[in-house]
Amino acid sequence: MSIRTGTSMDKERDQTDKAARLIDVARLANVSRATAARALGGYGLVTDATRERVAAAATALNYRVNELARSMRSGRTLTIGVIVADITNSFFTSAIRAIIETAATAGYQILVLNSDDDIRREREALRVLLEKRVDGLIVVPASPRETDHLLARGEPDVPIVLLDRYIDPPEIDFVTTDDFEAARAAIRLLADRGHRRIGMLVATAAVASHSTKQPKGVVTTVSNRVDGAIAALKELDIPYNRDWHRYSRTNLAIAKAAAIKILQTSPRPTAVLATNEEMALGFVAACGELDLSIGDDVSLISFDDTPWASVFRPALSVVQRPVYALGEAAVTVLLSKIAGDKTVQSIKLPAVLIDRNSVGPPKTR
């Protein structure tokens, strides 16, 4: 006959097949139930040694936190809802990663929904996330003025922070970049290289295809970039030609068609500012079809330092926005709102203009 010996944790595992309870973890770790709750919940004053002992006990007992019960007691679900305009865009993908990583350090999980920059989808996404009882929301708004659903916030009141854009008037906390100054700096760089015929390829969901006229209801990233570029043109006494400026739906094929229209004007612009990665790709495709060399026949600056921008030949000059810092700041502001801060915060982070090889002197024709 053999005799089996084991640790107290082995014995605890053998004693029952029932799901472990918090009191079981507390007993095994030799702490009070309240201390075990604080250690597992990540709040209150608990020493590192006690936290490790409680975590070891929870692992030994295969204990799982009852999130529903905890949320009913605390009134919080430790979840944050995120609504982005285009989840396929690398800017938003990077921002989501920053949001996930920053929120995780505070014990929060993220639920992400995509609106496709459609106000109806945004309203539906907001409804779904409120039904999930999220503690707060980070939203990339599809409209600067259709905001009643954002201002309502749900019942009970759910704090919201806007990312990348803000509403008019700015009644909700937001985190974005100074797009006006960024566009202004981009135009100045082109002018410093001798360009006087400067156009823009502007991304917006407010058009079905592409147009030379600015549509109604464009988001603040669009209006600020266009206004900054036009302000620089005026300051430098450079003529504005509507035929060199096109508003395009965020779609590669449409952006390419819009870029071809710009490049087929006579005279054509010698330089173009693209307001996002789809516009830049569309412009590159148009130049390929028209047998134009970027940096030689026509110069290009794009908003956002996409993963391919620096390896493209020639490497693209870009307006680099601090994407990770934006996502991080949005979570930080939102957590302060969840904690009860009522101050409306308006944060605009600076962008950096990176001069690579896609901007050269103008080539006369």
User: Which of 282, 230, 269, 246 minimizes the C-alpha distance to 362?
Assistant: 269
**What is the separation, in whole angstroms, between the first and last Cα of the chain?**
100
Over range 187-216, report the average pLDDT.
96
The model's pLDDT over 245-258, given as tens digits with 9 standing for 90+, comes to 999 999 999 999 99
Residue 62: the pLDDT is: 85
SS3 295: coil
In whole angstroms, what separates CA 27 from the centre of its chain?
Answer: 44
Write out the H or E segment, with its range, that includes residue 82.
Answer: strand 79-84
Q: In this model, does residue 110 exceed pLDDT 60?
A: yes
Is the separation of the CB atoms in 80 and 136 below 8 Å? yes
Confidence of residue 66 (pLDDT cuts 50, 70, 90): low
pLDDT value at 327 more than 90: yes
Residue 341: is its pLDDT beyond 50?
yes
Beta strand ranges found along 233-351 (DSSP E): 245-248, 271-274, 299-303, 317-320, 346-349
CB under 8 Å to 344, separation ≥6 — which residues?
A: 170, 171, 172, 173
Q: Measure the CA–CA gap between 175 and 188, rounded to whole angstroms.
A: 25
* Residues 14 and 57: beta-carbon distance below 8 Å: no
Instruction: Taking residues 56-63, report their average pLDDT.
Output: 88
State pTM to two decimals.
0.80
**What number of residues does the chain have?**
365
pLDDT bin (cut points 50, 70, 90) of residue 156 is low
* Residue 176 binned pLDDT confidence (cut-offs 50, 70, 90): very high
Comparing 206 with 19, which gets the higher pLDDT?
A: 206
Across the range 4-9, mean pLDDT stands at 42
- Say which residues have a Cβ less than 8 Å from residue 13's Cβ, sequence separation at least 6: 60, 61, 62
Matching fold, domains 77-177+323-349 and 179-321: yes
Question: b vs e for 138-150, b when ≥16 Cβ sit within 10 Å of the residue's Cβ?
Answer: bbbbbbbeebebb
Name the residue ranges covered by the structural domains of the chain: 8-65, 77-177+323-349, 179-321
The CATH class for the domain spanning 77-177+323-349 reads alpha beta
For residue 118, what are its two tokens?
């459609």
Mean pLDDT for the stretch of residues 99-119: 94
Class of domain 8-65: mainly alpha
Q: How do 245-248 and 198-203 pair as beta strands?
A: parallel
Please compute the mean of the pLDDT values over residues 72-90 and round it to a whole number: 84
In the sheet that 109-114 helps form, which strands lie side by side, from edge to edge?
109-114, 79-84, 136-139, 160-163, 174-177, 346-349
Spatial contact of 356 and 105, defined as CB atoms under 8 Å apart: no
CA dist 156 and 139 (Å) reads: 18
Cα distances (Å, whole numbers) of residue 203 to 43, 260, 269: 45, 15, 18
Residue 226: predicted pLDDT: 97
In the predicted model, what is the mean pLDDT of residues 128-154?
90
Q: Which CATH architecture has domain 179-321?
A: 3-Layer(aba) Sandwich (3.40)
